[in-house]
Amino acid sequence: MKKILFISPRNPYSGRYSGDVIRSLKIINLLKKKYHLDVVCLKKNNLNIKEKSLIAFKHPNIFLKFVYCIISILKLEPIQFGLFFSNKVKSFIDNNANNYDYLFFSQVRSSQYLPKNYYGKTILDMGDLYSDNYYQSFKNLSFFNPMKYVYFFESLLVKKSERKIFKNFDRITLFSKKEMEKIDKKYKKKICKIDWSVEKVVNNFSYSLKKSKVLFIGNLGYLPNIIACKYFIRKILPKLKLKIPDVKFTIIGNVNYLDRIFLSKNENVEILGPKKNLKKFIRNAYCGLANLSIATGVQSKVLTYMSNGLPVICHSKVAVNFGNNVLSYRQDKDLIQKLILLKSKKKLSQKYSKMSIQFSQKFVWKKISLKYLELLNF
């Protein structure tokens, strides 16, 4: 049986509710059926996880992280490399890599562990072009926000690392065809488009005029999500309340303490934190929202809405991956109008619910998983 070493920046068995962790765990469970697989990662705590394949090293302390970040900057490498670097992880991989037929890396930040003298095959499950994401973040932040310039600097460093990745890895996966088009032609043969996936497609939605909840799913530690939520609460919700007085903006996902305080000030906002079972929250909402002005790849939240039969409204930057299966808008007034229409028009709501179900069928994990197995046969 061939052997795979899966390298992850986060512990995939931690129970963390985020897209990268969920995807990593799906891939790990898939590959374990066909290959001998070990997982090496960083862990934040001393959770006693009984998983024989897991080789977890504790995150370095804050002082060491700071030192590693400075070293990354001096080497003109992404700052996130420093945040997710560990000498113990590097030593383990350098000393053991050639005991494995494949090295499977999750995300750009783990690519720094690619050993120089490895003779097997290398795969990076990249997902999105992070350089594009950071550059969009730079453009959207205020001139007076110091993070604007951090994101600009990081976008340049990640862009440099991405060129190195395309050169050194045997296979790289991306979600979006649009992002694949941005890559140098000489590396195109290495790139594999593997879509985001959903576990199953079930219609958990039914129209009711009484429903007044607009649902937003996403980790608010991720800049595009927190920008989208704050903008909706400040600019859209007050105007929407004039037409739908009992409207509720429901947020499901990780939210830090300070953001929770800011967002909770509005009585029409409810923050539920991360939830594994979304069924009842989908049932209580009349639409799913993806109002991200910063968007790369394929937004997993949209597929989550759609696979549950929920009608979806997206910013045009997000809608590009979903065609006419979602309601798209560019300006605030269009968003407000479409939120009102979906609430009041039963036929329109049912139409987009049906389209959501049909569109998301092709993203079921059972189908997507076959592409990951094919990925190893090159």
Domains, in order of start, for the chain: 3-194 (3.40.50.2000), 213-363 (3.40.50.2000)
Whether this prediction's pTM lies above 0.75 is answered by yes
> Coil, strand or helix: which one is 249?
strand
Place of tokens 């639409």: 287
- Residues 125-171 have pLDDT tens digits of 988 778 888 888 888 788 888 888 988 999 999 999 989 998 999 99
Q: Which pLDDT belongs to residue 296? A: 64
CB atoms within 10 A of CB 1: 8
Q: Are the CB atoms for 108 and 20 separated by under 8 Å?
A: no
Q: Tokens 């550059």 sit at which residue?
A: 135
Q: What pLDDT score was predicted for residue 297?
A: 55
User: CA 90, CA 120: separation in Å to the nearest integer?
Assistant: 17
Q: Which two tokens stand for residue 56?
A: 């977890």
pLDDT in tens, 92-110: 999 999 999 999 999 999 9
Tokens of 322: 């979903």
Q: Are 111 and 9 in contact (CB under 8 A)?
A: no
Confidence class of residue 256 from pLDDT cuts 50, 70 and 90? Answer: confident
Residue 239, SS3 per DSSP: helix
pLDDT for position 298: 59
> pLDDT tens digit string along 215-250?
999 888 888 898 899 999 999 999 999 999 999 999
What is the mean pLDDT of the segment spanning 305-312?
94
Please check whether residue 95 is in contact with residue 89, taking contact to mean a CB–CB distance below 8 angstroms: no
- For 212, 216, 242, 270, the CA distances from 245, given in Å and listed in that order, are 9, 19, 6, 15
- Decide: 1 and 35 in contact? Cβ < 8 Å: yes
pLDDT value for 223 = 85
- Asked if residue 155 lies in contact with residue 163, where contact means CB atoms within 8 angstroms, the answer is no
